[in-house]
Structure 1
Amino acid sequence: MRQMAEILYQMKGPPNHNTAEAEADTTLRPLMEFLDGNLSIFADICEKTVLKRILKDLWKIVLSSLERTVVLPQSNDSLGAQLLTAAKGLSNLKGGAEAKTLTPKQCIIIDAGLETIKQYFHAGGNGLKKAFVEKSPELASMRYALSLYTQSTDALIKTFVTTQHSQVHDGIGIRITGNEKIKPDRGKSFKVLS
C-alpha cells in the first residue's frame, strides 16, 4: 500500500477523467502484482469454498488498508503520535516536506482504481458476487472518505458537529457514567462544609 501511495502522490496536475483509468492501473500495479502472485497459489491448492472465504477476507483487508494508508490522512490515537504529527506539521509550515492530502486528480484516480479492484475480485463471475462487493461496508466507507475531499470546510464542520452531538446520548448530555443508558444527573448539588 505504501508503494501505491508513493506512486499516487507523485501524480500531479489537473483532474482528467480520460487518463484516470491508465493512471489508476499504474498506481495499482504493486497491489495487483501481489494479489496475482498469492491468489494463484491459493486457487491451485484451495477448494472453491475456502477460496471464496479467502477472497472475502482479502477484499475487506485491501479496502480497509487502502482507505487507512492512502485515502485518510495519517494519524494515530496515541498522544505521542499526535504530538509527533503536530511537530511534523510545524516543520512543514517552516518549509519542510509537503503534507499528504489528496488532490482532486488523485481522488479520481483512486475512484477509477476502485472499479478495477471490484472487477478483479469479481473475476468475471468466478470470484466474489457483485452484490457482495457493491454492498460491502468497506466500499461504502472508502467512497465516503473520498467524498470528504470534495466537501467545503463549512460542510465538514457541520457534519462533525452533528455526528458528535448525536453520539452523546442522542444530544441529551455528556458521557459521565459507565452505563450509556443512564442520563447524566444535572440537578444534584454538593453541600459545602465549613
Structure 2
Amino acid sequence: MTPIKTLCIYCGSNSGRLDAYGTAGCALAKALVSRNISLVYGGAGIGLMGMVADQVLQLGGKVIGVIPKALADKEVAHKNLTQLHVTESMHERKMLMAELSDGFIALPGGIGTLEELFEIWTWAQLGFHNKPCGLLNVEGYYDSLIGFLDHVLAEQFVKKEHHAMLIVETNPDLLLNRYINYEPPTAKQWVGKDET
C-alpha cells in the first residue's frame, strides 16, 4: 500500500441538523493533521466542508480545495487554503480531486456527496485505482444506506470483494488505521482505464 499523504473528504455544503456532524468533521480533521495527512476537498468555505477545512488549517495542516468556476461564487470558495484549484467543470473537479488523493472518505452530506462516493467506489471496483474508499458513519447517518448495500450484496448485484471495498467506521482514528493497512481485492477488472 502506498503511504497516505492526502485524503479526499466528501461532505455537505450545509452543516446538517446535528452538531455531531461538525464535531465528527473536526475530529477527522484532527486525526488527519496528527498523521500529517493533507486534506483534499471541494473548496467551499461553507457548511460541513468549510468546518473541516477550517479545523485542518487551524491545527496547522494543509488543505487543497478543488472547485469549478460555476460553483466558486455559489459555494463561496474558501479564501485561505494552502492551494485552491478552479476547474472548468464538475467532471474536471472530480478527476483532479481523485488524482490528488491517496484515499476517499464520505462524511454526512447530500446528493452530491453520495454521487462522489459512488463514482469513486465504482472506479475502484473497475480497477481504475486501488485507493481506499469509506464512510465515517456519524450518529448512524449512513445506517440505512449500509443496510441497502447489504441488500444489494444479498441480491447478488455486487460481489462480496467489491462490497468489502467500502470501509465503514464510526471513529476517525479507526477508519484511518484501516486505510493504512488497506489491501485492494485482486478481483479481475472488467475494463482497463484506457478503454473508458
* TM-score between both structures, scaled by the size of structure 1: 0.26
- Between Structure 1 and Structure 2, the one with more strand by share is 2
- Between Structure 1 and Structure 2, the one with more helix by share is 1
* TM-score between both structures, scaled by the size of structure 2: 0.26
- Computing the radius of gyration over CA atoms, which structure comes out larger, 1 or 2? 1
